[in-house]
Amino acid sequence: MYLHVTPNGGKYWRLAYRLFGKQKIFALGVYPQVSLAEARQMRDEAKKLIKQGIDPVVERKQTSRRKYDEQATTFELIARDWHRTKQSSWTESHAKKIMNSLEADIFPKLGDRPIAAISAPDLLAALRVIESRGALEIAGRVLQRCNAVFRYAVATGRITANPAAELRGALKTPERKHHAALSHAELPAFMSHVDGYDGDFQTRIGLQLLAHTFVRTGELRAARWAEFNLELGEWRIPAERMKMRDEHIVPLSRQSVALLRQLECINGDSELVFPSGNGRRDKCISENTLLYALYRMGYHSRATGHGFRATASTILNEMGFHPDWIERQLAHAERNKVRAAYNRAQYLSERKQMMQVWSDYLDAVSRGENVVLSEFRQKRSEN
């Protein structure tokens, strides 16, 4: 070992050695940043490698490469890579929700770990923290997302096995909670409360449209006038706003069109059907606007915006409408992608008739008429 001094005054620790008949130089660092004691320690470690026939220069490069590879294949980097590849198939809000859950619950514990070094117990320990705060459903969803990240890592050659697959059945099962939904017997009083709602005008219209169309709350809140053809009585919700990323056609009953005409009188100058009331016409009303209106009407824990879907599904089935028509109207997922493309507008004429019967039914119960579900559809068809 020696200290190499350059003409400009630089001082470099060097180790001269011979391996496999070749003379070589191993850099030990710059003096005085690397002290004599540190240089001697590195020299001794290098000599041990040389005795084993290992070139310290090559070993240093390989070690640096391993560290780089580990940093380039951390769980967080691969998870973000996976997220980018899937983002186009999700709505913006769903994509944000997925990343937020990973950032909050997984990255702080496993994000900087090489993905190949994460075991099933490591992942389970992180999920147990979520469980410990009582968020069992969130723990299950986070496991699903981690499972997808690990499968992506397997597919792209970063790892050979998926530790998340070993955790099937390892988490606590949350008690299934259904959205609060109204029954046929409860609808007359509810519709009467909605029709007499003394709060914001557009909020009342929103509740009425939610009942008549039974779309998802988010689909209604962010609706744009460009999506509607009121003359044709049709609402086409674009794929990017749908949960399953497929365009959804909602036939509009005469009652729904009339409600939208009322709303058009006050909001027709906005792109949004339900612009925010805080002066931001480019933002739609919040998800709590309709929910809090239900609370004001006395329906806390008794009804939700999403619950209208369950109510409509139950009653339309009792009326005898074909289950496929109802499922298509609810825009539930079609697992077969080919069939899904074909089904986008399937049963449209049948669904138009069904949606008109549904609105007529809501009008009838709001007037206090005694409606027998098994007979109502037939009576409407005869009129």
Rounded Cα distance between 381 and 367, Å, is 20
Clarify whether 61 is annotated catalytic: no
Reference 367, options 195, 205, 184; nearest CA is 195
pLDDT of residue 338: 47
Choose the catalytic residue: 2, 68, 295, 342.
342
Clarify whether 361 is annotated catalytic: no
At 105, the pLDDT band (50, 70, 90 cuts) reads very high
At 50, the pLDDT band (50, 70, 90 cuts) reads confident
pLDDT of residue 69: 57
Choose the catalytic residue: 158, 216, 248, 377.
216
67-81, 258-272, 329-343 — which is least confidently predicted? 329-343
pLDDT of residue 174: 74
pLDDT of residue 179: 56
Return mean pLDDT, the chain.
87
Go through the domains of the chain in sequence order and give each one's CATH number. Answer: 2-70 (3.30.160.390), 75-167 (1.10.150.130), 187-382 (1.10.443.10)
Clarify whether 306 is annotated catalytic: yes
pLDDT of residue 335: 46
Clarify whether 342 is annotated catalytic: yes
pLDDT of residue 345: 59
At 355, the pLDDT band (50, 70, 90 cuts) reads very high
371 backbone dihedrals φ, ψ, rounded to 5°: -100, 125
Q: Report the pLDDT averaged over residues 183-188.
A: 89
Q: Report the pLDDT averaged over residues 81-101.
A: 89
Helices and strands of the chain, counted as H and E runs: 17, 6
pLDDT of residue 153: 92
Global pTM?
0.58
Q: Is the pLDDT of residue 342 over 60?
A: no
At 239, the pLDDT band (50, 70, 90 cuts) reads confident
pLDDT of residue 240: 85
* Greater pLDDT, 341 or 325: 325
Q: What percent of the chain has pLDDT over 70?
A: 90
For 283-293, what is each residue's pLDDT tens digit?
A: 899 888 988 99
Q: Report the pLDDT averaged over residues 231-240.
A: 92
Clarify whether 309 is annotated catalytic: yes
Choose the catalytic residue: 158, 309, 351, 377.
309
**Contact yes or no for 54/45 (Cβ under 8 A):** no
Pair of tokens at residue 70: 């580990």
pLDDT of residue 254: 96
For 116-153, what is each residue's pLDDT tens digit?
A: 999 999 999 999 999 998 888 899 999 999 999 999 99
Q: Report the pLDDT averaged over residues 300-328.
A: 87
Q: Report the pLDDT averaged over residues 300-324.
A: 86
Choose the catalytic residue: 332, 339, 367, 379.
332
Q: Is the pLDDT of residue 250 over 60?
A: yes
Choose the catalytic residue: 243, 245, 281, 296.
243
Q: Is the pLDDT of residue 273 over 80?
A: yes
- Residue 121: asked if its preceding bond is cis (omega within 30°), the reply is no
The 10 Å CB-count burial string (b at 16+, else e) for 39-53 is beebbeebeebbeee
Question: Residue 370, class by beta-carbon neighbours within 10 Å (0-12 exposed, 13-18 middle, 19+ buried)?
Answer: exposed
Choose the catalytic residue: 151, 281, 283, 306.
306
Reference 294, options 213, 357, 217; nearest CA is 217
